[in-house]
Amino acid sequence: METLETLRTRFAPSPTGWLHLGHVANALWTWETAERVGAEVILRMEDHDRTRCRPEYERQIYDDLAWLGFAPTIESLSSLRAGASSYRQSDSVDAYQSALDVLAARGVVYGCTCSRSDIARELGDGLVEGRELRYPGTCRDKGLSPGPGIGARVMLPDGDFTFEDLALGPQHQNPQSQCGDLLARDRNGNWTYQFAVAVDDIRHQISHVVRGADLLESTGRQLALARLLGRERGPVFLHHPIIHSEHGAKLGKRERSFALAAMRAKGMTPEEVLKEARTRTGLEGPWVLQITGFP
């Protein structure tokens, strides 16, 4: 990894609903990793989905973190509260456009009019239920330019990306075979999660990414994007266990009984909520000491 002046990780919720126990678990892993390696923790609002994000959800995130005792780096939190901020994705469209312009100048960006249903229809028998859709390159040679009604895709290299996950060990991914060319901005002009996160982790100088294991497959493509944007070696990754609902699915914001607001309303203390998150995610005792590979 390039030498960074400050080690830094991030807690990056999407203000599309109230925080739940899964977010609490991620906060625990994030802050304890930061304490172990001596890193700052920035708070980033990943509100690229402008159809679902709400100011009241963002305000509640500040309150919930304070209630639980998690203190992000002062600069990022005060900046977010003050108004427009480089730590809020909806305020960072110029940064994403600049990154896309860099890639366009390298000749790896093209326009795409395909919808998800278009891709599924083209894949036909090759589509496996429950698996992500691999973009088959339908628009790559059409000569379309990104703009109104036309999305922007980035041509990812065809090759393996290898990284050492601090919790899961050695990982090998080929993003081109996983997802194909990556959508950076959709047909409605919205920046995508994958693109925005890759750009943010560069501009925020993130040295350690701590997130749930459900996002493991995103890592290779984000490393590929970072390399195309000039970051030769990506951050250190740790993908921790996630909490599942009573039905065995990943815990989501629709699981109201696990919502932090509901737990607070029942009279649970911060200590009780944190203990519940620790138990359900397997984070007990001095877990950091049992994970090797920290720089």
pTM of this prediction?
0.90
What tens digit of pLDDT does each residue of 62-97 get?
999 999 999 999 999 999 999 999 999 999 999 999
Give me the pLDDT at residue 281, please. 83
Q: Do residues 41 and 31 make contact, with C-beta atoms less than 8 angstroms apart?
A: yes
What tens digit of pLDDT does each residue of 186-228 get?
999 999 999 999 999 999 999 999 999 999 999 999 999 999 9
137: left (phi over 0), alpha (psi -120 to 50) or beta: left
Number of C-beta neighbours around residue 26 at 10 A:
22
What tens digit of pLDDT does each residue of 99-145 get?
999 999 999 999 999 998 899 888 875 555 556 789 999 999 999 99
Say what angle helices 55-68 and 270-281 make with each other, to 10 degrees. Answer: 90
Give whole-number Cα distances, 155 to 6, 59, 185, 221, 251, in Å.
32, 37, 13, 11, 33
Burial 201-225 (b: 16+ CB within 10 A, else e): bbebebbbbbbbeeebebbbbbbbb
> Averaged over 157-177, what is the pLDDT?
94
42: left (phi over 0), alpha (psi -120 to 50) or beta: beta
Which CATH number is 8-290 given? 3.40.50.620
Give me the pLDDT at residue 175, please. 96
List the beta bridge partners of residue 171: 163
What is the largest distance, in Å, between two alpha-carbon atoms of the chain? 59
Residue 257: partners with Cβ closer than 8 Å, 6 or more residues away? none
Give me the pLDDT at residue 295, please. 44
Of residues 251 and 165, more confidence is placed in 165
Provide DSSP, 102-118.
HHHHTT-EEEE---HHH
pLDDT at 1 over 50: no
